[in-house]
Amino acid sequence: MSTKTIQNLQINQDRLWDSLMEMAKIGATEKGGCARLALTDLDKQGRDLFVQWCKEAGCTITVDRMGNIFARRPGRNNDLPPVVTGSHLDTQPTGGKFDGVFGVLAGLEVIRTLNDYKFETEAPIEVSVWTNEEGSRFAPAMIASGVFGGVFTEEYGHSRADLDGKTIGEELKRIGYFGDAPVGGRPFKAFFEAHIEQGPILEAEDKIIGVVQGIQGIKWFEVTLTGQDCHAGTTPMNRRKDAMLAAARMVDLVNKIALDHLPGVGTVGLMTVHPNSRNVIPGKVFFTVDLRHPYDEELEKMKAALDAGAAKICGNLDVEYDLQEIWNSPAIHYDPACIDAVRKAADEAGLPNRDIVSGAGHDAGYIARVAPVGMIFVPCAEGISHNEIESALPEDLAAGCNVLMRAMVELAA
């Protein structure tokens, strides 16, 4: 097969866009986004639609015991390991139309295009859907790809519970996606994930393709502060054990830690207050901390600063604290051959591109533990993601999909 033949392949931009918009109807929100949390009935509807489309494209479907879906287009030699692409269909509570979903439906569009051209690859092509990438309903994020990559056990994955106590294992069975296949042990020749950037760099520099080098390190913490709930009107200020005041100072601490370790970032994104009454001093506060940095050694320094700062703040306010690190994802560096395949595909298509490091976690990060991995970024408007107004141009999505197809065919041929 010649390079000229690969370059003749062009995905159908309108079909890709129409598929994205059809999937976006499932869990559509008033502001134009999507709320399709992992393993809800809406997630099931999205999965069912994807499976239907893949079967119509001639794929066989496999579902493993973590609910990961694999849609396979056969190659000339099905004994060869497949070249795989994919992402996730679950969203944030106020998510957009493209985060994760683009990577899944770009993979489907690759298969549809190869069918249109009656193009055979030597190795099979697969598209995957990974369960609970977002980590919004069940923590930690990327749990199913983490089980696949050997980071978590299957039992741990099934036991993760949402705020109502419902577990991943229970919900997989409820929606009919507790599959028979073992999790992991599926050889991949390579894995590619196409994704919107979720940041402002590509748009600001007029680049269409981000050639992703890897993912920055991530640590998640859960913090419980325990003071004493008491009457807001009768308790003097100097006799209070105000858990909310301690929490407020720790939120500020997280922000300061990030600013002291740029380009690191720090976020407090979830908080619950007890008893949550307007005239009662909060006696207990639970919140999360998300710290990230491209270099693991700097991320460890950020963690140490959080530990030391929590001890000082809570000691001064006579509040007890419990700080647990619940997830650690070290910095990931992608496979040089996969990176080169993405860069070559972008250059040959004449698409402006640049190397980039992902600030967000992705399923590809865990797959990189067991297979060669590359990622492709395309711009999103103003870098906004995890938001209902998340937006991307049809032509940029099509460009990313074409790069994905060429990189995959290059390795599958």
Burial of 77 (0-12, 13-18, 19+ CB in 10 A): exposed
- Is 88 marked as binding a ligand? yes
> What distance, in Å, lies between the first and last C-alpha atoms of the chain?
7
- Is 99 marked as binding a ligand? yes
The DSSP call for residue 138 is: S
Per the CB < 8 A criterion, the answer to whether 213 and 377 are in contact is no
Could you give the CA distance from residue 144 to residue 129 in angstroms, rounded to a whole number? 10
Per the CB < 8 A criterion, the answer to whether 331 and 396 are in contact is no
- Is 231 marked as binding a ligand? no
- Is 386 marked as binding a ligand? yes
How many angstroms from the chain centroid is the CA of residue 287? 21
The angle at the Cα of 112, spanning 38 to 127, to the nearest 5 degrees, equals 35
- Is 195 marked as binding a ligand? yes
Place of tokens 């978590």: 152
Q: Give the list of residues 6+ apart from residue 79 with CB closer than 8 angstroms, or none.
A: none
Work out the number of other CB atoms within 10 angstroms of the CB of residue 105. 28
φ, ψ (nearest 5 deg) of residue 145: -70, -30
Binding annotation: 88, 99, 134, 195, 386
Binding annotation for Zn(2+): 88, 99, 134, 195, 386
